[in-house]
């Protein structure tokens, strides 16, 4: 995974999202559409999150230091947790705003301004979403993957806005202008509900990492490899610990050797380490693997 390519994409995404945010806020203000204003403020907050992601990507690229001896991997789930929390709060605010809009009799908006804007915004958001997804097939960056969620959400918001404004235009042309005023708050409610799933999809894994909950898939993999190694090499016992922070995986394995184990020297232990490491998968900069050996069970208790 190229951190340089990751940073370039995050910079592009940040600049483009900021431009979308300003355009939406200006359009929403002059058209009187709260749903477009909502889209603009969502994009503005997404821009701030992208800046945090870019800073995180730069820190991750740095080597560890005396203060952060395991690097800066722990910042990644923290940024994603902030993003998911903001998305959830925005969705709740939008839902309440839409409900009050309906209760208060709806809103009149300038359809001649918002329909072209929604069309252009839909094309831009979907085009950039698919472009980033294509680029990330090579980069394999979790930051880019979750960052791209904001573009998918923005694209969905834009399509929803476009459809709702076309419906409002149809109602006006057919003599049902009084109902057209309810379209804007109604679509705001639908957009809020559609954002709940993406927000929870970001929050769930990020919260697990921040709280230090054991990643089940990685834990199962380590146990499977060690159970097979225990039988094959005659280990007396072992204990393993795994942790995950963003893309970083921390694995500790402590192995108890029997008293009569045929140990030829340190080279024998290094060979065992290499074999176990290979069975666990390809090593990379994001994997921290520690394998220790002892003949006394008290050291794994």
- Clarify whether residues 62 and 184 are in a common domain: yes
Clarify whether residues 166 and 104 are in a common domain: yes
Closest CA to 60 of 7, 120, 15, 115: 7
pTM, two decimal places? 0.66
End residue of a domain, out of 155, 185, 211: 211
Residues 80 and 227 in one domain: no
Residue 141 shares a structural domain with residue 83:
yes
pLDDT tens-digit series, residues 85-102: 887 887 888 788 888 888
Helix (H) or strand (E) holding 249: strand 248-256
CATH number of the domain residue 281 falls in? 3.30.70.1350
Does one domain contain both 90 and 155? yes
Q: How far apart are CA 168 and CA 173, in angstroms?
A: 9
Non-local (6+) Cβ contacts of 298 within 8 A are none
Average pLDDT for residues 203-222, to the nearest whole number? 85
The reply to whether 52 and 129 lie within a common domain is yes
Task: Tell me what pLDDT residue 262 has.
Answer: 85
Residue 2 clears pLDDT 70, i.e. is over it: no
Task: Give residue 278's domain range.
Answer: 216-300
Q: What mean pLDDT, rounded, does the chain reach? A: 84
CATH assignment at residue 104: 1.20.1510.10
Residue 260 CA to residue 267 CA, distance in Å, equals: 17
Q: What does the pLDDT look like over 253-281, one tens digit per residue?
A: 999 999 888 888 888 899 999 999 999 98
Nearest to 107 by CA among 35, 169, 40, 192: 35
Per-residue pLDDT reduced to its tens digit, 119-158: 999 999 999 999 999 988 888 777 788 778 778 878 877 8
117 and 175 housed in the same domain:
yes
pLDDT in tens, 214-239: 888 889 999 999 999 999 999 999 99
Q: What is the pLDDT of residue 239?
A: 93
Residue 149 sits in the same domain as residue 171: yes
Please tell me whether residues 266 and 129 are part of one structural domain. Answer: no
Pairing of strands 237-245, 287-294: unpaired
Q: What is the pLDDT of residue 61?
A: 67
Number of domains in the chain: 2
CA neighbor of 150 nearest in space, from 52, 74, 245, 244: 52
Last residue of a domain, one of 163, 182, 211: 211
Lowest model confidence (mean pLDDT) among 8-17, 64-73, 192-201: 64-73
Neighbours of 110 (CB within 10 A): 12
Q: Are strands 237-245 and 248-256 parallel, antiparallel or unpaired?
A: antiparallel
State whether 222 and 153 are in the same domain: no
**Is residue 293 classed as helix, strand or coil in its secondary structure?**
strand
- Residue at token pair 């929870």: 200
16 and 87 co-located in one domain: yes
CB 202 within 8 A of CB 87: yes
User: Both 80 and 131 in a single domain?
Assistant: yes
What pLDDT is attached to residue 114?
A: 87
The CA dihedral of 276, 279, 281, 283, to the nearest 10 degrees, is: 30
**For the chain, percent of residues with pLDDT exceeding 90:** 25
Cα(132)–Cα(145) distance, rounded to whole angstroms? Answer: 8
- Of 182, 211, 240, which one is at a domain's C-terminal end? 211
């Amino acid at each position: 995974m190229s951190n340089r390519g990751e940073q370039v994409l995050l910079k592009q995404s940040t600049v483009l999202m900021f431009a979308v945010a300003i355009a939406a806020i200006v359009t929403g203000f002059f058209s009187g559409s709260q749903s477009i204003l909502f889209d603009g403020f969502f994009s503005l907050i997404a821009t701030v999150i992208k800046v945090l992601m870019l800073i995180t990507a730069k820190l991750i690229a740095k080597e560890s230091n005396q203060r952060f001896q395991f690097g800066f991997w722990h910042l990644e789930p923290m940024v994603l947790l902030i993003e998911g929390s903001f998305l959830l709060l925005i969705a709740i605010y939008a839902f309440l705003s839409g409900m009050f809009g309906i209760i208060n009799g709806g809103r009149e908006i300038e359809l001649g301004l918002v329909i072209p804007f929604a069309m252009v915004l839909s094309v831009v958001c979907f085009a950039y979403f698919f472009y980033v997804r294509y680029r990330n097939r090579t980069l394999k960056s979790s930051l880019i993957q979750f960052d791209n969620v904001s573009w998918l959400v923005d694209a969905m918001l834009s399509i929803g806005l476009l459809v709702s404004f076309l419906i409002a235009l149809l109602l006006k042309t057919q003599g049902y202008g009084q109902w057209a005023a309810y379209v804007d708050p109604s679509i705001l409610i639908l957009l809020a509900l559609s954002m709940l799933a993406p927000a929870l999809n970001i929050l769930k894994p990020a919260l697990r990492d921040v709280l230090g909950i054991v990643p089940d898939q990685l834990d199962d993999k380590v146990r499977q490899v060690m159970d097979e190694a225990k039988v094959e090499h005659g280990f007396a016992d072992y204990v393993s610990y795994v942790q995950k922070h963003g893309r970083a995986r921390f694995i500790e394995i402590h192995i108890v050797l029997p008293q009569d184990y045929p140990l030829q020297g340190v080279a024998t232990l290094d060979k065992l380490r290499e074999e176990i490491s290979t069975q666990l998968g390809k090593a990379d900069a994001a994997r921290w693997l520690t394998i220790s050996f002892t003949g006394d069970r008290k050291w794994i208790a």
